[in-house]
Amino acid sequence: MPRPATAPLDGLRVLDLSRALAGPYATMTLADLGADVIKIEGPGGGDDTRSWGPPFVTGSSGVQESTYFLSANRGKKSVAADLKSEAGIELILELARTADVLVENFRPGVMDRLGLSSQRLLEHNPRLVILSISGFGAAGPDAGRVGYDQILQAEGGLMSVTGDQASGPVKVGVPVADIATALLGIIGVLAALRDRDRSGYGQVVSTSLLASQIALHTFQGTRWLVAGEVPGPSGNHHPTIAPYGLFPTASAPIVIAVGSEAIWRRFAPLVEIDFDDERFADNPARMNHRDDLYGAIVKAFATRPAEEWTELLADAGVPAGVVKTMDQVYDSAQVAAEDLILDVEHSTLGAIRLPGRPLRFSRSAAPAALPPPTLGQHNGVVRERLWEE
């Protein structure tokens, strides 16, 4: 008989020494997969993001909680500990003794100065997998620099290809450098855990916000590295595919994605364009005559509201979508059908709703939906567990 389904990472213990976003987002994702995550916070104000607001929400105790902190810390236990004290370091070493994964995003060298070097941690627990996240990496002239998300969006090249000529460089509206780093870090952790299954030993997995930006470059990176072309801002239109981007209609703008010749032949008649017109006969031709092409599309789209166009495009098998605000996204039937809102009971705020878990498994169970913790909420619980072990 098959064993009762459990969460994929049920039984995995994670010690989270990180703060702000890249590290906490990584450990939250591990918690979403069933890991037991203990978050270590400074006893004063805790994680930096507890003060990042407004907006704040005030709970029954009168303590404010930052919605920013709530976004990246669900499913964890919080323990307040001073890492500059001997007692704090001893607590970390004791927790690391039975942990499977430790996540930290201090600047290179800080863990060593605290007395928590990778060597010491691995001597303490040879099976430990350590995820070390930095801004610019552990080597090179920028290793010691502090790396916040937008700094790396700028220095990692992402802002240079976002926006348009009128706007100049523009950051992405979410902390994409942090999030990409977190997700790549998780991939590294899971690979190291798989390696531990074979070897019996843990190791250090290192990544950085700079590395994640390089990983996100994809075709923009090879435009320079292979073709010798420096990409510029592409605005709301794809730099290598046409038509693919944002167009006005009689009511509101919509996005279309004509990503193949088959789609082009379905799309062109809708906007009264001859798909065999030599100016538009294939993608290179359409890119070379974008002004003519986009002028014709704008003229056609002006004749109907967005709702009619999206229906016509859908019927023709042309990918398209409207630009939704956050309230429209979370109120949509599709988000509800995919169960992408998580309802949890916070210890001081009561019932709150959070962005939901992005993964589903056909056999594994989902872990219990736990809220983000208040600062030091689990001091007693975690220490009791240590004594029992």
On the question of pLDDT at 36 being above 80, the answer is: yes
Q: What is the mean pLDDT of residues 364-385?
A: 92
Own/partner long-range contacts of 41-48 (Cβ < 8 Å, ≥24 apart): 41/78, 41/79, 41/80, 41/81, 41/375, 41/376, 42/80, 42/81, 42/82, 42/83, 43/80, 43/81, 43/82, 43/376, 45/375, 46/78, 46/80, 46/375, 46/376, 47/19, 47/20, 47/73, 48/19, 48/20
Q: How far is 310 from 326, CA to CA, in rounded Å?
A: 20
The pLDDT of residue 388 is 64
On the question of pLDDT at 87 being above 80, the answer is: yes
Q: How far is 42 from 280, CA to CA, in rounded Å?
A: 61
The pLDDT of residue 297 is 98
Q: Are strands 204-208 and 129-134 parallel, antiparallel or unpaired?
A: parallel
Instruction: Give me the phi and psi of 340, to 5 degrees please.
Output: -100, 20
Q: How many CB atoms lie within 10 A of CB 280?
A: 23
Q: How far is 346 from 351, CA to CA, in rounded Å?
A: 6
The pLDDT of residue 327 is 97
On the question of pLDDT at 2 being above 90, the answer is: no
The 10 Å CB-count burial string (b at 16+, else e) for 100-129 is bbbbbbbbbeebeebebebeebbeebeebb
Of the listed 178, 195, 282, 291, which one is catalytic? 178
Tens-place pLDDT, residues 133-167: 999 999 999 999 999 999 999 999 999 999 999 99
Q: How confident is the model at residue 1 (pLDDT cuts 50, 70, 90)?
A: low
The pLDDT of residue 291 is 96
Q: What is the mean pLDDT of residues 84-110?
A: 96
Q: What is the mean pLDDT of residues 308-336?
A: 97
Q: How far is 14 from 28, CA to CA, in rounded Å?
A: 10
On the question of pLDDT at 246 being above 60, the answer is: yes
Strand partners, 65: 57
Structural domains of the chain, ranges and CATH numbers in brackets:
13-217+335-388 (3.40.50.10540), 254-322 (no CATH)
The pLDDT of residue 387 is 64
Q: How far is 129 from 108, CA to CA, in rounded Å?
A: 17
The pLDDT of residue 369 is 92
**Angle at the Cα of 22 (from 357 to 214), degrees rounded to 5?**
105
Tens-place pLDDT, residues 200-231: 999 999 999 999 999 999 999 999 999 999 99
Q: Report CA-CA distances (Å) from 213 to 10, 304, 358.
A: 31, 39, 22
Active site (annotated) includes residue 178: yes
In this structure, of 116-120, 199-203, 366-370, the range with the lowest mean pLDDT score is 366-370
Instruction: Give me the phi and psi of 13, to 5 degrees please.
Output: -110, 130
On the question of pLDDT at 278 being above 90, the answer is: yes
Q: How far is 12 from 320, CA to CA, in rounded Å?
A: 42
**Cβ-proximal residues to 89 (8 Å cutoff; 6+ apart), any chain:** 83, 114, 115, 116
Q: How confident is the model at residue 245 (pLDDT cuts 50, 70, 90)?
A: very high
Q: How confident is the model at residue 385 (pLDDT cuts 50, 70, 90)?
A: confident
In this structure, of 62-66, 89-93, 128-132, 216-220, the range with the lowest mean pLDDT score is 62-66
The pLDDT of residue 39 is 98
Scanning the chain, the segments in alpha helix (DSSP H) are: 22-32, 67-71, 86-98, 110-114, 118-124, 149-155, 176-199, 209-217, 219-225, 261-267, 283-288, 290-301, 306-315, 326-330, 333-337, 379-388
The pLDDT of residue 137 is 96
The pLDDT of residue 389 is 64
Q: How confident is the model at residue 63 (pLDDT cuts 50, 70, 90)?
A: confident
SS (H, E, C) 248-306: CCCCCCEEEECCCHHHHHHHHHHHCCCCCCCCCCCHHHHHHCHHHHHHHHHHHHCCCCH
Category of 231 on φ-ψ map: left (φ > 0), alpha (ψ -120 to 50) or beta: beta
Q: How far is 130 from 15, CA to CA, in rounded Å?
A: 9
Q: How far is 77 from 82, CA to CA, in rounded Å?
A: 16
The pLDDT of residue 349 is 95
Q: How far is 345 from 122, CA to CA, in rounded Å?
A: 37
Q: Residue 307, exposed/middle/buried by CB under 10 A (0-12, 13-18, 19+)?
A: middle
